[in-house]
Amino acid sequence: MRLLGVILCFFWIILGVVVGDFWLHVATKCLIMTLFAMSFSLLYGQTGLLSFGQAAFFGVGAYGFALSLTRFGLPFVPCLIIGLISSVLWAWITGYICVRLSGIYFAIMTVVVTQMTFYILFQWYGFTGGDDGIQGLLPPSFLGDPHAYYYYTLIIVASAYFAYHKILSSPFGLSLRCIRENMVRIEFVGINVRRHRLGAFILAGFFAGLAGILYAPFTRTIAPQMANWHSSGNAVFMGILGGPSYLLGPSVGAGVWVFLDAFVSGYTVYWPLIIGMIVFFIVFFMPGGLTGLVSTYLTSSREKPIIIREV
Protein backbone atom coordinates (compact mmCIF):
# COMPACT_ATOMS: atom_id res chain seq x y z
CA MET A 1 0.00 0.00 0.00
CA ARG A 2 2.64 2.46 1.10
CA LEU A 3 4.88 1.22 -1.70
CA LEU A 4 2.18 1.80 -4.28
CA GLY A 5 1.60 5.30 -2.94
CA VAL A 6 5.30 6.09 -3.26
CA ILE A 7 5.42 4.64 -6.78
CA LEU A 8 2.44 6.78 -7.81
CA CYS A 9 4.03 9.90 -6.34
CA PHE A 10 7.26 9.20 -8.21
CA PHE A 11 5.32 8.64 -11.40
CA TRP A 12 3.67 12.05 -11.13
CA ILE A 13 6.88 13.79 -10.09
CA ILE A 14 8.80 12.35 -13.06
CA LEU A 15 5.90 13.01 -15.42
CA GLY A 16 6.27 16.73 -14.76
CA VAL A 17 9.87 16.61 -16.01
CA VAL A 18 9.56 14.42 -19.07
CA VAL A 19 6.44 15.63 -20.86
CA GLY A 20 6.01 18.65 -23.08
CA ASP A 21 3.77 21.66 -22.55
CA PHE A 22 0.59 20.14 -23.94
CA TRP A 23 0.75 16.97 -21.86
CA LEU A 24 1.85 18.93 -18.82
CA HIS A 25 -1.35 20.90 -19.17
CA VAL A 26 -3.30 17.65 -19.48
CA ALA A 27 -1.57 16.18 -16.44
CA THR A 28 -2.33 19.26 -14.33
CA LYS A 29 -5.96 19.13 -15.35
CA CYS A 30 -6.02 15.45 -14.53
CA LEU A 31 -4.75 16.13 -11.02
CA ILE A 32 -7.37 18.81 -10.43
CA MET A 33 -10.15 16.61 -11.77
CA THR A 34 -9.04 13.86 -9.41
CA LEU A 35 -10.24 16.05 -6.54
CA PHE A 36 -13.53 16.66 -8.33
CA ALA A 37 -14.03 12.91 -8.83
CA MET A 38 -13.05 12.33 -5.20
CA SER A 39 -15.79 14.72 -4.14
CA PHE A 40 -18.39 12.63 -5.97
CA SER A 41 -16.91 9.30 -4.89
CA LEU A 42 -16.96 10.18 -1.20
CA LEU A 43 -20.70 10.78 -1.44
CA TYR A 44 -21.69 8.03 -3.84
CA GLY A 45 -19.08 5.32 -3.34
CA GLN A 46 -18.80 5.65 0.41
CA THR A 47 -22.06 7.14 1.69
CA GLY A 48 -24.45 5.89 -1.01
CA LEU A 49 -25.65 9.37 -1.92
CA LEU A 50 -25.93 9.95 -5.66
CA SER A 51 -25.02 13.59 -6.08
CA PHE A 52 -25.47 15.46 -9.34
CA GLY A 53 -24.53 18.67 -7.60
CA GLN A 54 -20.79 18.60 -6.96
CA ALA A 55 -20.19 21.25 -9.64
CA ALA A 56 -21.93 23.78 -7.40
CA PHE A 57 -19.07 23.60 -4.92
CA PHE A 58 -16.47 23.39 -7.67
CA GLY A 59 -17.92 26.59 -9.13
CA VAL A 60 -18.33 28.39 -5.82
CA GLY A 61 -14.73 27.58 -4.90
CA ALA A 62 -13.47 28.98 -8.19
CA TYR A 63 -15.72 32.07 -8.04
CA GLY A 64 -14.88 32.67 -4.38
CA PHE A 65 -11.23 32.76 -5.37
CA ALA A 66 -11.77 34.78 -8.53
CA LEU A 67 -14.05 37.40 -7.01
CA SER A 68 -11.81 38.06 -4.04
CA LEU A 69 -8.91 38.43 -6.47
CA THR A 70 -10.54 40.68 -9.06
CA ARG A 71 -13.23 42.53 -7.11
CA PHE A 72 -11.45 42.98 -3.81
CA GLY A 73 -7.84 42.77 -4.98
CA LEU A 74 -6.76 40.47 -2.17
CA PRO A 75 -3.43 38.62 -2.31
CA PHE A 76 -3.30 35.10 -3.75
CA VAL A 77 -3.32 32.97 -0.61
CA PRO A 78 -6.23 34.73 1.15
CA CYS A 79 -8.17 34.38 -2.11
CA LEU A 80 -7.58 30.62 -2.05
CA ILE A 81 -8.75 30.43 1.55
CA ILE A 82 -11.87 32.49 0.82
CA GLY A 83 -12.66 30.26 -2.15
CA LEU A 84 -12.35 27.15 -0.06
CA ILE A 85 -14.36 28.55 2.84
CA SER A 86 -17.15 29.68 0.51
CA SER A 87 -17.53 26.22 -1.02
CA VAL A 88 -17.52 24.57 2.41
CA LEU A 89 -20.13 27.02 3.70
CA TRP A 90 -22.26 26.57 0.58
CA ALA A 91 -22.03 22.79 1.02
CA TRP A 92 -23.04 23.19 4.65
CA ILE A 93 -26.11 25.30 3.82
CA THR A 94 -27.33 23.27 0.84
CA GLY A 95 -26.32 19.97 2.44
CA TYR A 96 -28.47 20.75 5.45
CA ILE A 97 -31.49 20.52 3.13
CA CYS A 98 -30.25 17.76 0.80
CA VAL A 99 -29.30 15.17 3.43
CA ARG A 100 -32.85 15.13 4.70
CA LEU A 101 -33.79 13.32 1.49
CA SER A 102 -32.77 9.93 0.19
CA GLY A 103 -32.50 8.10 -3.10
CA ILE A 104 -33.85 9.84 -6.16
CA TYR A 105 -35.13 12.79 -4.12
CA PHE A 106 -31.65 13.48 -2.86
CA ALA A 107 -30.31 13.26 -6.43
CA ILE A 108 -32.94 15.71 -7.69
CA MET A 109 -32.27 18.11 -4.84
CA THR A 110 -28.59 18.18 -5.73
CA VAL A 111 -29.51 19.01 -9.34
CA VAL A 112 -31.58 21.88 -7.95
CA VAL A 113 -28.62 23.07 -5.91
CA THR A 114 -26.21 23.00 -8.83
CA GLN A 115 -28.64 24.72 -11.22
CA MET A 116 -29.49 27.34 -8.61
CA THR A 117 -25.79 28.03 -8.12
CA PHE A 118 -25.31 28.21 -11.87
CA TYR A 119 -28.13 30.74 -12.35
CA ILE A 120 -26.89 32.93 -9.53
CA LEU A 121 -23.44 33.04 -11.12
CA PHE A 122 -24.95 33.38 -14.60
CA GLN A 123 -27.40 36.19 -13.96
CA TRP A 124 -25.79 38.30 -11.28
CA TYR A 125 -23.94 40.38 -13.86
CA GLY A 126 -23.01 43.19 -11.51
CA PHE A 127 -21.00 40.96 -9.24
CA THR A 128 -20.07 37.74 -11.00
CA GLY A 129 -19.84 39.04 -14.54
CA GLY A 130 -22.63 36.76 -15.70
CA ASP A 131 -21.95 34.65 -18.77
CA ASP A 132 -18.82 36.66 -19.54
CA GLY A 133 -17.17 34.87 -16.68
CA ILE A 134 -14.05 36.26 -15.07
CA GLN A 135 -10.76 36.60 -16.90
CA GLY A 136 -7.19 37.35 -15.97
CA LEU A 137 -6.90 35.09 -12.96
CA LEU A 138 -3.14 35.00 -12.97
CA PRO A 139 -1.33 33.02 -10.32
CA PRO A 140 1.54 34.84 -8.58
CA SER A 141 4.76 34.95 -10.59
CA PHE A 142 6.45 32.07 -8.72
CA LEU A 143 3.63 29.81 -9.93
CA GLY A 144 3.44 31.40 -13.36
CA ASP A 145 5.54 28.71 -14.99
CA PRO A 146 3.43 25.66 -16.01
CA HIS A 147 5.92 23.33 -14.30
CA ALA A 148 5.73 25.28 -11.06
CA TYR A 149 1.96 25.22 -11.20
CA TYR A 150 2.01 21.51 -11.93
CA TYR A 151 4.09 20.72 -8.86
CA TYR A 152 2.07 23.09 -6.71
CA THR A 153 -1.08 21.20 -7.82
CA LEU A 154 0.61 17.86 -7.27
CA ILE A 155 1.50 18.72 -3.66
CA ILE A 156 -2.05 19.79 -2.86
CA VAL A 157 -3.69 16.85 -4.63
CA ALA A 158 -1.31 14.32 -3.06
CA SER A 159 -2.06 15.76 0.38
CA ALA A 160 -5.79 15.66 -0.34
CA TYR A 161 -5.47 12.06 -1.47
CA PHE A 162 -3.68 11.20 1.73
CA ALA A 163 -6.51 12.86 3.66
CA TYR A 164 -9.06 10.91 1.59
CA HIS A 165 -7.26 7.69 2.48
CA LYS A 166 -7.33 8.68 6.16
CA ILE A 167 -11.05 9.47 5.99
CA LEU A 168 -11.82 6.12 4.38
CA SER A 169 -9.94 4.18 7.02
CA SER A 170 -11.21 6.25 9.96
CA PRO A 171 -14.18 5.36 12.16
CA PHE A 172 -16.12 8.07 10.28
CA GLY A 173 -15.37 6.28 7.00
CA LEU A 174 -16.76 3.06 8.42
CA SER A 175 -19.87 4.92 9.60
CA LEU A 176 -20.39 6.23 6.08
CA ARG A 177 -20.10 2.75 4.59
CA CYS A 178 -22.58 1.45 7.13
CA ILE A 179 -24.96 4.23 6.11
CA ARG A 180 -24.46 3.26 2.47
CA GLU A 181 -25.11 -0.40 3.24
CA ASN A 182 -28.12 -0.01 5.50
CA MET A 183 -29.28 3.42 6.54
CA VAL A 184 -32.18 2.00 8.53
CA ARG A 185 -30.14 -0.40 10.61
CA ILE A 186 -27.46 2.09 11.46
CA GLU A 187 -29.97 4.40 13.20
CA PHE A 188 -30.63 1.57 15.64
CA VAL A 189 -26.95 1.35 16.40
CA GLY A 190 -27.11 4.92 17.66
CA ILE A 191 -25.86 6.75 14.57
CA ASN A 192 -27.46 10.02 13.60
CA VAL A 193 -27.61 9.38 9.86
CA ARG A 194 -28.41 12.97 8.88
CA ARG A 195 -25.51 14.39 10.83
CA HIS A 196 -23.03 11.92 9.37
CA ARG A 197 -24.34 12.48 5.88
CA LEU A 198 -24.02 16.22 6.36
CA GLY A 199 -20.43 15.64 7.47
CA ALA A 200 -19.76 13.69 4.28
CA PHE A 201 -21.50 16.37 2.19
CA ILE A 202 -19.34 19.11 3.69
CA LEU A 203 -16.15 17.10 3.19
CA ALA A 204 -17.18 16.45 -0.42
CA GLY A 205 -17.82 20.19 -0.80
CA PHE A 206 -14.33 20.81 0.54
CA PHE A 207 -12.73 18.53 -2.07
CA ALA A 208 -14.78 20.08 -4.87
CA GLY A 209 -13.89 23.56 -3.62
CA LEU A 210 -10.22 22.59 -3.53
CA ALA A 211 -10.54 21.52 -7.16
CA GLY A 212 -12.19 24.90 -7.89
CA ILE A 213 -9.43 27.03 -6.38
CA LEU A 214 -6.80 25.03 -8.26
CA TYR A 215 -8.75 25.22 -11.51
CA ALA A 216 -9.33 28.99 -11.67
CA PRO A 217 -5.66 30.10 -11.69
CA PHE A 218 -4.87 27.12 -13.92
CA THR A 219 -7.16 28.11 -16.78
CA ARG A 220 -6.97 31.82 -15.80
CA THR A 221 -10.55 32.28 -16.84
CA ILE A 222 -13.75 30.89 -15.42
CA ALA A 223 -17.35 30.79 -16.60
CA PRO A 224 -20.59 29.97 -14.77
CA GLN A 225 -20.90 26.79 -16.87
CA MET A 226 -18.43 25.12 -14.55
CA ALA A 227 -21.17 25.08 -11.90
CA ASN A 228 -24.01 23.63 -13.93
CA TRP A 229 -25.25 20.09 -13.97
CA HIS A 230 -23.36 19.21 -17.10
CA SER A 231 -20.20 19.92 -15.18
CA SER A 232 -21.56 17.84 -12.28
CA GLY A 233 -22.05 15.05 -14.77
CA ASN A 234 -18.30 15.05 -15.40
CA ALA A 235 -17.71 14.32 -11.72
CA VAL A 236 -20.30 11.55 -11.86
CA PHE A 237 -18.70 10.10 -14.95
CA MET A 238 -15.16 10.19 -13.63
CA GLY A 239 -16.27 8.68 -10.35
CA ILE A 240 -18.19 5.83 -11.98
CA LEU A 241 -15.44 5.25 -14.51
CA GLY A 242 -12.77 4.84 -11.86
CA GLY A 243 -14.89 2.91 -9.38
CA PRO A 244 -16.49 5.12 -6.73
CA SER A 245 -16.00 2.85 -3.73
CA TYR A 246 -12.31 2.22 -4.33
CA LEU A 247 -9.57 4.33 -2.85
CA LEU A 248 -7.83 4.52 -6.21
CA GLY A 249 -11.08 5.14 -8.12
CA PRO A 250 -11.07 8.94 -8.38
CA SER A 251 -7.53 9.13 -9.73
CA VAL A 252 -8.11 6.36 -12.29
CA GLY A 253 -11.41 7.89 -13.38
CA ALA A 254 -10.01 11.40 -13.71
CA GLY A 255 -6.87 10.12 -15.44
CA VAL A 256 -8.76 8.18 -18.09
CA TRP A 257 -11.37 10.88 -18.64
CA VAL A 258 -8.91 13.76 -19.02
CA PHE A 259 -6.69 11.65 -21.26
CA LEU A 260 -9.63 10.68 -23.48
CA ASP A 261 -10.75 14.30 -23.56
CA ALA A 262 -7.30 15.40 -24.70
CA PHE A 263 -6.57 12.50 -26.99
CA VAL A 264 -9.86 11.67 -28.69
CA SER A 265 -10.89 15.30 -29.16
CA GLY A 266 -7.77 15.71 -31.31
CA TYR A 267 -9.17 13.17 -33.78
CA THR A 268 -12.85 13.80 -33.90
CA VAL A 269 -15.36 16.44 -32.94
CA TYR A 270 -17.71 13.65 -31.94
CA TRP A 271 -15.63 12.72 -28.92
CA PRO A 272 -18.57 13.02 -26.49
CA LEU A 273 -20.14 10.19 -28.46
CA ILE A 274 -17.11 8.01 -27.87
CA ILE A 275 -17.07 8.95 -24.19
CA GLY A 276 -20.77 8.10 -24.06
CA MET A 277 -20.18 4.65 -25.50
CA ILE A 278 -17.43 4.02 -22.99
CA VAL A 279 -19.76 5.00 -20.14
CA PHE A 280 -22.38 2.66 -21.49
CA PHE A 281 -19.89 -0.17 -21.60
CA ILE A 282 -18.63 0.46 -18.09
CA VAL A 283 -22.03 0.81 -16.48
CA PHE A 284 -23.19 -2.35 -18.20
CA PHE A 285 -20.19 -4.60 -17.76
CA MET A 286 -18.07 -3.14 -14.99
CA PRO A 287 -20.15 -2.06 -12.01
CA GLY A 288 -16.98 -1.50 -9.98
CA GLY A 289 -15.44 0.75 -12.63
CA LEU A 290 -11.92 0.26 -13.93
CA THR A 291 -10.45 -0.25 -10.47
CA GLY A 292 -13.09 -2.89 -9.83
CA LEU A 293 -12.06 -4.65 -13.01
CA VAL A 294 -8.42 -4.70 -11.97
CA SER A 295 -9.42 -5.82 -8.51
CA THR A 296 -11.43 -8.72 -9.85
CA TYR A 297 -9.00 -9.99 -12.46
CA LEU A 298 -5.56 -9.18 -11.13
CA THR A 299 -5.88 -10.33 -7.56
CA SER A 300 -7.27 -13.66 -6.56
CA SER A 301 -6.30 -13.54 -2.91
CA ARG A 302 -8.94 -12.70 -0.34
CA GLU A 303 -6.74 -10.13 1.33
CA LYS A 304 -6.55 -7.51 -1.36
CA PRO A 305 -4.42 -4.44 -0.84
CA ILE A 306 -6.71 -1.62 0.23
CA ILE A 307 -5.90 0.43 -2.82
CA ILE A 308 -7.83 -1.95 -5.04
CA ARG A 309 -10.15 -3.40 -2.43
CA GLU A 310 -13.69 -2.22 -2.49
CA VAL A 311 -14.33 -0.35 0.72
Q: Exposed/middle/buried for 120, CB within 10 Å: 0-12, 13-18, 19+?
A: middle
CB 59 within 8 A of CB 224: yes
> To the nearest whole angstrom, how small is the minimum distance from the Cβ of residue 248 to another protein?
18
Q: How many residues bind another protein (CB under 8 A)?
A: 28
Ranges of beta strands (E only) in the chain are: 134-135, 221-222
CB 161 within 8 A of CB 251: yes
Cα 153 from Cα 156, distance rounded (Å)? 5
Instruction: Using alpha carbons, list the distances in angstroms from residue 294 to 37, 38, 119, 305.
Output: 19, 19, 41, 12
> To the nearest whole angstrom, how small is the minimum distance from the Cβ of residue 192 to another protein?
5
Q: Angle CA(7)–CA(11)–CA(163) in degrees, nearest 5?
A: 65
> To the nearest whole angstrom, how small is the minimum distance from the Cβ of residue 292 to another protein?
13
47 binds another protein (CB under 8 A): no
| Interface with another protein (CB under 8 A), residue from 193, 264, 278, 286 | 193
CB under 8 A: which stretch of 3-11, 161-169, 210-218, 287-295 binds another protein?
Answer: 161-169
| Interface with another protein (CB under 8 A), residue from 59, 199, 209, 212 | 199
Window 171 to 190, contacts with another protein (CB under 8 A): 171-175, 177-178, 181-182, 184-190
| Interface with another protein (CB under 8 A), residue from 147, 195, 220, 230 | 195
Name the residue nearer to another protein (CB basis): 25 or 196: 196
167 binds another protein (CB under 8 A): yes
> To the nearest whole angstrom, how small is the minimum distance from the Cβ of residue 200 to another protein?
10
> To the nearest whole angstrom, how small is the minimum distance from the Cβ of residue 190 to another protein?
4
CB 133 within 8 A of CB 222: yes
CB half-sphere exposure, 32, CA atoms < 13 A: 25
| Interface with another protein (CB under 8 A), residue from 170, 221, 268, 299 | 170
Closest CA to 173 of 41, 36, 35: 41
- For the chain, helix, strand, coil in percent to 5 are 80, 0, 20
286 binds another protein (CB under 8 A): no
Contact footprint for another protein (CB under 8 A)? 166-167, 169-175, 177-178, 181-182, 184-193, 195-196, 199, 302, 310
